[in-house]
Chain A
Amino acid sequence: MDKVDLDSPHSMGTTIIGVTYNGGVVLGADSRTSTGVYVANRASDKITKLTDNVYICRSGSAADSQVLSDYVRYFLHQHTIQLDQPATVKVAANLARLLSYNNKDMLQTGLIVGGWSKHEGGKIFGIPLGGTIIEQPFAIGGSGSSYLYGFFDQAWKDGMTKEEAEALVVKAVSLAIARDGASGGVVRTVTIDKDGPERKFYPGDKLQLWHEEMEPQNSLLDIWGGATAASPEPMRE
């Protein structure tokens, strides 16, 4: 058996998604934090608050993305006080990408910044590994996102309602979880519009089943037959 390396850095295999809709944005993520193959946290919260109206989805190194978010929150806070107005999503994203770009030698983070502001409405910015910043109507990131490109090409449309957007995000994360070993756990979403943020939680065992997925079970013995059915062949001399 291959040795399991329990000292691997905590990485968030992850699937993160940000989607704009008519009136705001929906951010979604899975909840698996892995150390190599060991799941260090199966219920982590990868959608972090920067301000009341701007949130960030974190992927890549857990430590790096947490520290980066802390810095951005700090700078944004000061900026808000100075301006005497809530910060825009664009400013938040810019601060994040400056940190990401200028420290690209040392950091490994893929980020999605999303939020709502009075002047711009709902906005999503993707900030992948190297520190590029790109404004998009929707963004996907993390290891699980590889399995979603085709899905979004087909399923995304402009001007969705809040319900459609939320459903799309949950479905997408759930599909990625099914295929990506580094993504799993529960689906968390944060919907941000003019009335502020709203968190939702979708337990992993309540998600829709996809092709060849099994119903969640309590035990392997139940799958093999359990007390009522024939037990596995006993050993004989």
Chain B
Amino acid sequence: MSSIGTGYDLSVTTFSPDGRVFQIEYAAKALDNSGTVVGIKCKDGIVMGVEKLIQSKMMLPGSNRRIHSVHRHSGMAVAGLAADGRQIVARAKSEATNYESTYGEPIPVKELAERVASYVHLCTLYWWLRPFGCGVILGGYDRDGPQLYMVEPSGISYRYFGAAIGKGKQAAKTEIEKLNLSEMTCREGVIEVAKIIYKVHDEAKDKAFELELSWICEESKKEHQKSKALSAIMVNFVCSLVNSERWWYGVCTMDDGKDPEVIVVPSDLLEAAKTAATTALEEMDAD
């Protein structure tokens, strides 16, 4: 599995004798240190969730977002080096708006995934660039229905019905495989994703984490909607957006078990997700 590529691992433009590019493999290791990111494709849409590990109690809840909207109909959850992730998201947004300006219709998810993968791959071809240290789960809803793609630091991109990256990816994948995704609606999916993230969260190693969720489905009118932890300062801003009925905000912080500050919620959904997840955890602990 992991061997030391002495001498062959100094540059991304060097192959090892057994045909591997070690720098890319090392880049992938950066993902394994990051919080778990999960994405599933349900019957009527996509649900993505991120276990956002909080480094410091002084960080504003809701900052350092890991889930980004790329376009009205698509969103991206990032794992790994956050700054690298920002770059990829910026590129994806740019590709999406560019496509729409030229062709007059929203970019098909498949095309978007290919362009992002192409860009990530580009940075593995030159010695003066380093590979991206982040992986991305891209979910979108277009003419051909909901689609989920994952792009790895090597530039590989595959289409999935369930994907996970980060610390708890193995455990998360096992959990996803247990789900019956073809029958599940996004409403149910949100609860399931929350449960998975709570389950794979390692209490011993990392204490505080924030749960970020997002979905794109029939219910959200095929638009990417996120959950956000908000402070009182942002309330006014939120209210104005809420009136346009495009963003629904909810708060989920898993931090001393304190009750989160709820501004607006696509209801009860986010709360229900948190409750269900916590209950599930308790049930497990009770064994």
A88 close to B (CB within 8 Å): yes
Which chain A residues lie closer than 8 Å to B63 at the CB level?
A: none
CB pair B104 A94 closer than 8 Å = yes
Give 1 or 0 for each of A31-60: 1 = CB within 8 Å of chain B CB.
000000000000000000000000000000
B105's partner among A82, A84, A88, A133 (CB-CB below 8 A) is A88
Q: How large is the interface on A (under 10, 10 to 19, 20 to 34, 35 or more residues)?
A: 10 to 19
Nearest B-chain residue to A87, judged by Cβ: B103
Give 1 or 0 for each of A79-95: 1 = CB within 8 Å of chain B CB.
10011100010110111
B3 close to A (CB within 8 Å): no
CB pair B111 A98 closer than 8 Å = no
Q: Using known A-B contacts A82-B111, A83-B111, A119-B143, determine if residue A95 contacts B102 with beta carbons closer than 8 Å.
A: yes
A34→B108 CA distance, assembly (Å): 43
Which chain B residues lie closer than 8 Å to A82 at the CB level?
A: 111
Give 1 or 0 for each of B76-103: 1 = CB within 8 Å of chain A CB.
0000000000000000000000000011
Nearest B-chain residue to A117, judged by Cβ: B143
CB pair A94 B111 closer than 8 Å = no
Which chain B residues lie closer than 8 Å to A84 at the CB level?
A: 110
Interface size on B, residues (CB 8 A): 8
CB pair A95 B111 closer than 8 Å = no
Which chain B residues lie closer than 8 Å to A133 at the CB level?
A: 104
Nearest B-chain residue to A133, judged by Cβ: B104
Chain B nearest CB from A86 CB (Å) reads: 12
Nearest A-chain residue to B108, judged by Cβ: A83
Residues 59-92 of A contacting B (Cβ, < 8 Å): 79, 82-84, 88, 90-91
Residues 91-150 of A contacting B (Cβ, < 8 Å): 91, 93-95, 98, 119, 133
Chain A nearest CB from B181 CB (Å) reads: 25
Chain B nearest CB from A155 CB (Å) reads: 30
Chain B nearest CB from A106 CB (Å) reads: 20
Q: Using known A-B contacts A82-B111, A83-B111, determine if residue A93 contacts B104 with beta carbons closer than 8 Å.
A: yes
Chain B nearest CB from A82 CB (Å) reads: 7
A79→B103 CA distance, assembly (Å): 9
A16→B110 CA distance, assembly (Å): 37
Chain B nearest CB from A44 CB (Å) reads: 29
Chain B nearest CB from A114 CB (Å) reads: 15
Extra 13 A-B pairs, beta carbons < 8 Å, given A90-B105, A133-B104:
A79-B103, A82-B111, A83-B110, A83-B111, A84-B110, A88-B105, A90-B104, A91-B103, A91-B105, A93-B104, A94-B102, A94-B103, A119-B143
Residues of chain A touching chain B, judged by Cβ–Cβ distance below 8 Å, are 79, 82-84, 88, 90-91, 93-95, 98, 119, 133
Nearest 7 interchain pairs by C-beta: A94-B104, A91-B103, A119-B143, A90-B104, A94-B103, A90-B105, A91-B104
14 contacts between A and B (CB under 8 A): A79-B103, A82-B111, A83-B108, A83-B111, A84-B110, A90-B104, A90-B105, A91-B103, A94-B102, A94-B103, A94-B105, A98-B102, A119-B143, A133-B104
